[in-house]
Amino acid sequence: MSSSYGESLRLTIFGQSHSPAIGMVLEGIPAGETIDFGELQRFLDRRAPGRNGYSTARREADVPEFLSGLVGNVTCGAPLAAILRNADTRPGDYAAFASVPRPGHADYTAEIKYGGYQDRGGGGHFSGRLTAPLCIAGGVCRQLLAREGIEVAARILSIAGIRDRGDFTAPVGEKPFPVVDDACGEAMQAAVAAAKAEGDSVGGVIECVVRGLPAGLGDPMFDGMENRIAAIAFGIPAVKGIEFGAGFAAASMRGSEHNDAYEIRGGAVHAKTNRAGGILGGITNGEPLVFRLAIKPTPSIAAGQQSVDLEKMEETALSVPGRHDPCIVPRAVPVAEAAAAIAVADALLARRKEKR
């Protein structure tokens, strides 16, 4: 299948970059949950394009229209559906790529999979634009989690190899450039500008932390929190890796270094360290859940590349003009939060059925 996610919540995303609209349906949100539309909009605006030098010039109002699932601003138990109109479409921009797949994009794989029937405009269903409805769902779930004392926060951990410094203890999502240490952020922005000037692009790493989680969320084997978060996070275009807690660094550690000892703190059991990233056996242990996403550099670059004309079956040069982010990492920060919020809210609802 394709575009559904979740067990107790079920999210379905639809739309193409240049279809009349994109949107989402979210089933399973309990009745009686209030949606703060202002807060939701502020969250969506963090992802919106066209706000600064490092993002695409394409502008979309991105104000969701809720079609169902609400009475006023309170959920009524019916599926929640919302859409965003695609106002600023320029399908003509993509005519040239009809038969010449752009390297690093899904053009070639979509051509094979859909036998030439795919929507080529702007990446079609593979467009980063589809993360906007993901953020609608995620923004709703964030509010539901906040009411349970759960906070989801992400930051840029690195761009172009330049790493943020400082402990990530408080949310930075409202900053124009979401890092802990703004000096590092400036260096990252300089690296983005340099790449852009050369018609090139850069990637980075996002770190996401979920605080306030109860212990006991998630299930063994294929429905652990790691499986659940990975299964949605790889739905964000350009994600090529995910790690939890110490992650790949754990592979070089000894058990005595990696194991988190238990202690009693404030009358409760806690881990003294958090190399597990808050998850053991797929299940939360009450410590902050920590994961990181590897984001590849934007594949659309002005610099010349080699591709193949699929109709003529001959090699050809290609340059991708259009409107593209030289680095999508900053805009992907709220998307990572959205994905985490959905996965966690789903697990939280699933957890309820185990308790009387």
What does the block give as tokens for 31? 């009745």
User: Within 10 Å of residue 313's Cβ, how many Cβ atoms?
Assistant: 8
Here's the x/- map for its own copies, 143-172, by CB under 8 A: it reads as ---------------x-xx-----------
DSSP code at position 342: H
* Interface with its own copies (CB under 8 A), residue from 172, 242, 338, 341: 242
- Tokens 């330049």: give the residue: 162
CA 127 to chain centroid, in Å, comes to 13
Rounded to a whole number of angstroms, the minimum distance from the CB of residue 8 to its own copies is 5
State yes or no: residue 187 binds its own copies (CB under 8 A): no
The answer to whether 65 and 21 are in contact (CB under 8 A) is: no
Here's the x/- map for its own copies, 34-53, by CB under 8 A: it reads as --------------------
Residue range at the interface with its own copies (CB under 8 A); choices 40-48, 55-63, 171-179, 274-282: 274-282
Residue range at the interface with its own copies (CB under 8 A); choices 19-27, 36-44, 181-189, 330-338: 19-27
State yes or no: residue 99 binds its own copies (CB under 8 A): no
- Report CA Rg, the chain: 21
* Interface with its own copies (CB under 8 A), residue from 109, 176, 186, 321: 109
Residue range at the interface with its own copies (CB under 8 A); choices 55-63, 166-174, 181-189, 199-207: 199-207
Half-sphere exposure of 224 (CA within 13 A, CB side): 16
Q: What is the largest CA-CA distance in the chain?
A: 72
* Interface with its own copies (CB under 8 A), residue from 76, 96, 187, 193: 76
User: Within 10 Å of residue 278's Cβ, how many Cβ atoms?
Assistant: 25
Beta strand pairing call for 314-318 and 305-309: antiparallel
* Interface with its own copies (CB under 8 A), residue from 61, 112, 170, 183: 112
